[in-house]
Amino acid sequence: MLEVKNLVASYGKVQVLHDISLHVPEGKVVALIGSNGAGKTTTLRAISGMLIPESGSITLDGQSIGGLPSYEITRFGLAHSPEGRKVFPTQSVRDNLLLGAYPRLTGARERGDVEADIEHMYDLFPRLRERKDQLAGTLSGGEQQMLAMGRALMLRPRVLLLDEPSMGLAPRLVQEVFSIIARLKRDNITMLLVEQFAAAALEVADYGYVLENGRISVSGEAAMLKNDKAVRDAYLGGASSSH
Amino acid sequence: MSIFMQLIVSGISVGMIYGVIAFGYQLTFATSKTLNFGQGEALMIGALVGLTTINVLIGQSLGTFTAYFLMLPVVLAFGALQGTVVEWLGVRQAIKTKSEAGWIMATIALGIIFKNVAENVWGRDALKFPSPLPEASLSFWGIRIQPMEIAIVIGALGMMLAVEFFNRRTIQGKAVVATASDRDAAGLMGINTSRVITFSYALSSMTAAFAGVLVAPVTLTGATMGAVLGLKAFAVAIIGGLSSGLGVVVGGLILGITETMTGYYVSTGYKDVPGLVLLLLVLSLRPSGLFGKTTIKKV
């Protein structure tokens, strides 16, 4: 469904991604793991148009989206919950969710029942219902993460890119985030997940890619990667990888 | 005491004009971090287009009051168009190339061009603008006030409230606010942020043109009317803070009232000084403005 081939991207003159190819099949969760600075966030940014790639192709449902600005890419049904959450701090929780449905509300995508979807987000993230009229800037880090995910889901995306949803959260909240990802997976939402908690990410994912210095070093089924010795030593903190 | 009150009342309507122009500066600054330094000229050319329109309508034997209201949509549409042109010609390229100062020179240059065009089309003399309301002052407890001064306060507040309502209640307005807080994230929502920036320039010049036809009946209309108003409104935007709607209203009132006070108690020759002193004080003591917000980011 989401197909990235030979992606090359740079920040200025520094090439950050070298020849990245990956595939996210419909209804599956794909984890992208690797150490800090390996290019995980850059890969997501290049896919969603926040960064214009230098070369390579990106297709969603067979349609080319590579090189388009991000506002046009959302029309193809690609949602991106970015690094650092980037909620709109001066607007209410409810307004943030509505903005996630902007292409639906303005005719760029099929409208559907936006109000029902907001209710659905409140069911998925009950904290957001309690705080729906509060400004997003006053939420805790964990709540902002829930909001960023809910806002991305409001697009009714064909594919959802999640960048480090657990970053900076207390362990209890990290678990909550992963249980929500597992629930979204049961709802058949296609996801490309970037995570620092490689073990937990491979637990929920179907497939995994390991990124090293801007290149894919290993890839395969998540269950296989979990048992790969090199992957375990480098990213899963040795033998014990249960979460 | 009644002279003191009179000075305050007179200062209020002047201050509201400064406030509404300053509000226009805020609109573009919020979404693009750029300003239209030709804002005063947007006001001036809006007022002159309004003058020609209202004279044509009066020539059709319409009453001044009716003609004024029919003229408003023409002026608002013209202002929006003028702002769009400024954004296209002066700002868009500078934003695209991340130029730090390109837009400053470009918007100043466009302002000068608009002023020259106005001088050639409408001449260099100040022209009388027909007043839609009676020009005789009303008297309340000894304080004299022109009906048009009341209209200025209502019109200016109405314009700002209308924009505020649009921003809070409509999805397009919410998209403008989102673009102002985080352009990258707004893009991820499917918002065409460069179109939002064009729109805020259109809205900003529309506000200025509206301020022009509000103030024109109590002053005179002419190619040079914009420069001083634009500069003083800029001072108000700095005093009140470039991010606070309340700030420009309060800042405008402070400047308007200190001007009339200084004009009466000191000398009309010094009436521009206290506002500029205030500007310098604010810049040195509270650079984000009296009401400027310091953004809090949670990580």
pLDDT single digits (tens) A85-139: 999 999 999 999 999 999 999 999 999 999 999 999 999 999 999 999 999 999 9
Best mutation site among B167, B188, B294 for testing chain A: the one with the most A CBs within 10 Å? B188
* DSSP at B128: P
> Could you tell me if A242 and A164 lie in one domain?
yes
Per-residue pLDDT, A242: 44
Please give the Cα distance from A218 to A220 (Å, whole number).
7
Interface contact B173, partner A, CB < 8 A: no
Please report the pLDDT score of residue B94 as a whole number. Answer: 85
Predicted confidence at residue A237, as pLDDT, reads 66
Q: Would you call B171 and A102 a contact, using CB atoms and an 8 Å cutoff?
A: yes
Average pLDDT over residues A161-186: 93
**Is A134 an interface residue toward B (CB < 8 Å)?**
no
Residue of B nearest to A97 (CA): B189
β-strand partners of A57: A5
Does A20 reach chain B within 8 Å, measured CB to CB? no
Please answer yes or no on whether A95 and B174 come within 8 Å at the CB atom.
Answer: yes
Q: Give the phi and the psi of residue B49 in degrees, each rounded to 5.
A: -60, -40
pLDDT category, A152, cuts 50, 70, 90? Answer: very high
Predicted pLDDT of residue B295: 45
Nearest CA in chain A to B178: A88
Contacts of A75 in chain B (CB under 8 A): 190
Residue (of B156, A107, B36) closest to B164 by Cα position:
B156
A121 and A1 in one domain? no
- Model confidence at A49, pLDDT cuts 50, 70, 90, reads very high
Cα distances (Å, whole numbers) of residue B157 to B7, B148, B152, B188: 20, 14, 8, 34
Compute the nearest-CA separation of A131 from chain B (Å).
17
Tell me which chain B residue has its CA closest to the CA of residue A89: B181
Q: Does residue A165 belong to any structural domain of this protein?
A: yes
Residues in chain B closer than 8 A to A167 (CB atoms)? none
Residues facing residue A24 across a β-bridge: A2
Question: Are residues A148 and A192 both part of a single domain?
Answer: no
Distance from CA of A226 to the nearest CA of B (A): 31
A91:B174 CB<8 A: yes
Q: Is B98 on the interface with A (CB under 8 A)?
A: no
| Residue A243 forms contact with B (CB below 8 Å) | no
Residue A243 is predicted with a pLDDT of 43
Query: Same structural domain for residues A23 and A131?
Result: no
A25 and A73 housed in the same domain = yes
A-chain residues near B189 (CB < 8 A): 71, 74, 99-100, 102-103, 151
* Chain B residue with Cα closest to A139: B298
DSSP letter at B89 equals: I
Percentage with pLDDT > 90 across chain A: 86
Chain A contacts of B181, Cβ < 8 Å? Answer: 88-91
Q: Does some domain include residue A20?
A: yes
Distance, CA of A176 to CA of A195 (rounded, Å): 15
Minimum distance, in Å, between the CA of residue B177 and any CA atom of chain A: 8
The shortest CB-CB distance from B185 to any of A75, A82, A95 is to A82
**Predicted confidence pLDDT, tens digits, chain B (299 residues):** 688 889 999 899 999 999 999 999 999 999 999 999 999 999 999 999 999 999 999 999 889 999 999 999 999 999 999 999 999 999 998 888 877 788 999 999 999 999 999 999 999 999 999 999 998 888 888 888 999 999 999 999 999 999 999 999 999 999 999 999 999 999 999 999 999 999 999 999 999 999 999 999 999 899 999 988 998 999 999 888 888 778 899 999 999 999 999 988 888 888 888 888 888 888 888 878 887 765 444 44
Read off the tokens for A74: 């959302």
Question: Would you state the pLDDT for residue B293?
Answer: 64
A242/A183 same-domain check: yes
User: Quick check: helix, strand or coil at residue B266?
Assistant: coil
Determine the Cα–Cα distance for residues B135 and B145; give it in Å rounded to an integer: 10
Domain-located, residue A82? no
The whole-angstrom distance between residue B150's C-alpha and the CA centroid of its chain comes to 17
| Gap from B175 CA to chain A (nearest CA, Å) | 7
Q: What is the pTM of this model?
A: 0.91
CA-based max dimension of chain A: 51
Same domain, A140 and A196: no
DSSP B2: H
Residues A170 and A119 in one domain: no
Note down the domain range covering A110: 88-156
Count chain A–chain B contacts defined by CB atoms under 8 A.
Answer: 83
Confidence check: pLDDT of A54 > 90 = yes
Q: How many CB atoms lie within 10 A of CB B166?
A: 15
Q: How many domains does chain A have?
A: 2
b (16+ CB within 10 A) / e for B27-58: bbbbbbebbbbbbbbbbbbbbbbbbebbeebb
Residue from the list B186, B190, B299 with its beta carbon closest to the beta carbon of A103: B190
A209, A39 in Cβ contact below 8 A? no
**pLDDT for position B299:** 41
Partners of residue A88 in chain B, C-beta under 8 Å:
177-178, 181-182, 185-186
For residues B237, B243, B248, B250, the Cα torsion angle rounded to the nearest 10 degrees is -120
**Same structural domain for residues A162 and A64?**
yes
Do A140 and A112 contact (CB within 8 A), yes or no?
Answer: no
Is-contact A80 A161, C-beta < 8 A?
A: yes
Q: Which residue of A has its CA nearest to B190?
A: A71
Minimum-distance CB partner of B171 among A82, A105, A137? A105
Query: Are A16 and A115 found together in one domain?
Result: no
Do the chains contact at A91 and B193, CB–CB below 8 Å? no
Concatenating the DSSP letter of every residue in B150-193 gives: HHHHHHHHHHHHHHHHHHHHSHHHHHHHHHHH-HHHHHHTT--H
Residue keyed to tokens 């130029």 = B99
**Spatial separation of the C-alpha atoms in residues B86 and B89, rounded to whole Å:** 5
Domain boundary among A156, A181, A196: A156
* Residues of B with Cβ-Cβ distance to A48 under 8 angstroms: 188
CATH of residue A185: 3.40.50.300
In a domain, A83, yes or no: no
> What does R_g of chain A's alpha carbons equal in angstroms?
17
What pLDDT was estimated at residue B294? 54
User: Does residue B59 sit at the A interface (CB-CB below 8 Å)?
Assistant: no
Same domain, A64 and A136: no
Return the closest-CA partner of residue B298 out of A87, A36, A166.
A87
Closest CB from A86, A98, A102 relative to B182: A86
Radius of gyration of chain B (CA): 19
Choosing from A141, A156, A171, the residue where a domain stops is: A156
pLDDT at A13: 86
Q: Looking at the structure, do residues A61 and A167 belong to the same domain, yes or no?
A: yes
Q: Å from B31 to nearest chain A CA? A: 13
Domain boundary (A156, A172, A202) is at A156
Contact of A204 with A29, CB cutoff 8 Å: yes
Cβ contacts of B297 on chain A, cutoff 8 Å: 89
